[in-house]
Amino acid sequence: MPKLYIVPTPIGNLEDMTFRAVRILKEADLILAEDTRTSSVLMKRYEITTRMEPHHKFNEHRTIEKVAERIEAGLNIALISDAGTPGISDPGFLLARICRDRGIEVETLPGPTAFVPALVNSALPMDRFCFEGFLPLKKGRQTKFRELSTEERTMIFYESPYRLVKTLTQMAEYFSEERIACVSRELTKIHEENRRGTLGELIAWYTASEPKGEIVLVVAGCDHK
């Protein structure tokens, strides 16, 4: 029975690709990729010759109906993002939902997701946590910080290196400079860095040392005591 496969891809180190993911991508009739140019590097590494088409946030609203129709017509389609698991701060949710609504089977493979190693590396409580993804850029940003100021669970955010110091500074304002946090940068890559400290210490460090690369920010929850 044809289905949609959601296939995680490495977040940096190409060796993190699973045997199953390679097999599914080779056997699929079509691969939907967030950026076909980026994904071509991975395809070449594992000798995957399946045809690719773009599926990203700028076209997914227009194309999900047609993709679902193609699966119903008999195609097995695999969805990948540039890195990590599709749907986690990447395109994928809308396509998965319409497939479920139309009774199309969706099979999601386990695999790389940046926030999991960042959470473990932080050494902050990981029995209960909340994933917030990217913060609002403007509208609603202050409201979100106020809401999270009393959040007791460990909080996880994705952030751009260009906004990191600004975000840390705003968090210090709403959470206090003494709140413990950890910045994970370039996970699984050659220059991976996991820097833990108070928000005040992290602000000082990244003000003096300009951050680069993909960033996951893990922040301790509020201790009302």
Could you tell me the sign of the dihedral formed by the alpha carbons of 216, 201, 203, 220, in that order?
A: positive
10: confidence class by pLDDT, cuts 50, 70, 90: very high
pTM above 0.85, yes or no: yes
| pLDDT (tens digit per residue) in 94-103 | 999 999 999 9
Is residue 181 scored above 80 in pLDDT? yes
- Give the model's pLDDT for residue 31: 98
Model confidence at 57: pLDDT above 90: no
Average pLDDT, whole number, for the chain? 95
Question: Which pLDDT value is given to residue 138?
Answer: 85
- Evaluate if residue 180 carries a pLDDT over 90: yes
Between helix 93-101 and helix 60-72 the angle, nearest 10°, is 40
- Mean pLDDT to the nearest integer, 164-171: 97
pLDDT for residue 46 is more than 70: yes
pLDDT band at 225 (very low <50, low <70, confident <90, very high): low
For residue 224, pLDDT over 80 is answered with: no
Pick the CATH number of 115-219 from 3.10.400.10, 3.40.50.2000, 3.30.950.10, 3.40.1160.10: 3.30.950.10
The predicted-structure confidence for 208-223, as pLDDT tens digits, reads as follows 999 999 999 999 999 8
Give domain limits for the chain. 3-108, 115-219
Query: Per residue in 16-35, is it b (16+ CB within 10 Å) or e — as a string?
Result: ebbeebbebbeebebbbbbe
Mean pLDDT of 106-129: 96
What CATH number was assigned to the domain covering residues 3-108? 3.40.1010.10
Give the lowest-confidence range in 67-76, 134-143, 157-166, 192-201.
Answer: 134-143
Q: pLDDT (tens digit, 9 = 90+) per residue, 185-205?
A: 999 999 999 999 999 999 999
- Which tops the pLDDT comparison, 137 or 154? 154
